[in-house]
Amino acid sequence: MDFPALLAENIVQGFIVGLIVGFVVRVASKAVRNLLILQFLLLKYLESRNLLIVDWHGLTNGLLGQKELVIGEAQNLFDTVVEMGVFGGALAGGFLLAQRIGK
């Protein structure tokens, strides 16, 4: 097994995948942001016309007690990324480069 070649291959693959994911996230996040803003405005408009009743306090009740679950899942995700090693680092590098190029 040629370890340096395998290492270089993982770095290149991770960097390319990270670059592509970075560009996709940048474009998709703008589209999702605009869609969410439009939906919120429509929801508030319908509520102001009394066509829709929204229990805003009830929407957050399920999320308030889930702090430990969210922290645990974030820690598991972080552990997984650390274990990926070189590929994860190259992926992050490509993603960050895509974010900088897009500005």
pLDDT by residue for the chain (103 residues), tens only, comes to 577 777 777 778 888 888 888 888 888 877 888 888 888 888 888 888 888 887 766 666 665 666 676 677 777 877 776 666 667 777 778 888 887 886 6
> How many CB atoms within 10 Å of residue 98?
18
- Distance (Å, whole) CA 68 – CA 74: 10
For residue 10, how many other CB atoms are within 10 A of its CB? 18
Question: Rounded to two decimals, what is the model's pTM?
Answer: 0.42
Dist CA 100 CA 18 (whole Å): 13
Count other C-beta atoms under 10 Å from residue 18's C-beta: 22
